[in-house]
Amino acid sequence: MYTEEIQLYFDAYKEGMQKSIDHLADEYIQIRAGRANPKIVERVMVDYYGTMTPLNQMSTISVPEPRMVTVSLWDISQLRNVTKAIMEANLGVTPSDDGRVIRLVFPMLTEERRKEIAKEVAKLAETTKIACRNERRDILDELKKLKKDNAISEDEMANLEKEVQKLVDEKIAQIEKMQQEKEKDVMSL
């Protein structure tokens, strides 16, 4: 259908947009919506014998109750360091421990806080849409160079532009769906 060069541009274009969407999904996982999610603390970095280590590589993280995350350390001697790292991560909760297990109890979100989080969700979605549009601009620039060098015809260029636009429209629809689902999740009690 296309030359190998054009196919490479399209593959890079699709990959770039997918990376943006995957990043958005990761960001949405980090946003708490009134219930506990173990992903919230997985990225917390702890000074583990002089090496910065993700919390999920030195403990078992679980959700025993809808609004509680527990962190069971494999090395109890690191309890103080982990508690300090969680505090510094500014997750909006204060860790408490019983000498063996760290508990994070997430309070119910106020309506005002839910609205703030929904705005943050929308802002992240818009940033991802912009990234997808930038990918579109980049591939169109490459295709215009090919047209200028007479590697593709005017008709082929028009068809390629339509295909590029179709792909970006699909990805933006996917982003909007993700945004609506997350906003619904945040606003629900």
Question: Are residues 70 and 52 in contact, defined by beta-carbon separation less than 8 angstroms?
Answer: no
Residue 122: burial class (beta carbons within 10 Å; 0-12, 13-18, 19+)? middle
- Tell me how far apart the alpha carbons of residues 18 and 132 are, in angstroms, rounded to a whole number: 9
- Tell me how far apart the alpha carbons of residues 74 and 101 are, in angstroms, rounded to a whole number: 10
Q: What percent of the chain has pLDDT over 90?
A: 22
What's the rounded mean pLDDT across residues 169-176?
93
Confidence of residue 107 (pLDDT cuts 50, 70, 90): confident
pLDDT at 151: 81
pLDDT at 96: 85
What's the rounded mean pLDDT across residues 93-120?
83
Query: Under CATH, what is the fold of the domain 39-105?
Result: Gyrase A; domain 2 (3.30.1360)
- Tell me how far apart the alpha carbons of residues 159 and 22 are, in angstroms, rounded to a whole number: 28
Q: What percent of the chain has pLDDT over 70?
A: 96
What pTM was estimated for this model as a whole? 0.69
Confidence of residue 127 (pLDDT cuts 50, 70, 90): very high
- Asked if pLDDT for residue 189 goes beyond 60, the answer is no
What's the rounded mean pLDDT across residues 154-174?
91
Q: Where are the beta strands (DSSP E) in the chain?
A: 45-48, 51-54, 59-65, 68-73, 96-97, 101-105
Q: Which CATH superfamily is domain 4-30+110-187 in?
A: Ribosome-recycling factor (1.10.132.20)
- Asked if pLDDT for residue 144 goes beyond 60, the answer is yes
What is the rounded average pLDDT for all residues in the chain?
Answer: 85
Strands 59-65 and 51-54: unpaired
pLDDT at 21: 92
Domains 4-30+110-187 and 39-105 share a fold: no
pLDDT of 29-82, one tens digit each? 777 666 677 777 777 888 888 888 888 888 888 888 877 888 888 888 888 888
Tell me if residue 144 falls in helix, strand or coil: helix
What's the rounded mean pLDDT across residues 17-34?
82
Radius of gyration of the chain (CA): 23
Ordered by start, the domain boundaries in the chain are 4-30+110-187, 39-105
CA–CA distances in Å: residue 20 to residues 76, 124, 142, 161 = 38, 10, 20, 21
The better pLDDT of the pair 151, 163 is held by 163
Confidence of residue 133 (pLDDT cuts 50, 70, 90): very high
Tell me if residue 64 falls in helix, strand or coil: strand
- Tell me how far apart the alpha carbons of residues 80 and 123 are, in angstroms, rounded to a whole number: 35
Residue 151: CB partners within 8 Å, gap ≥ 6?
3, 5
Tell me if residue 30 falls in helix, strand or coil: helix
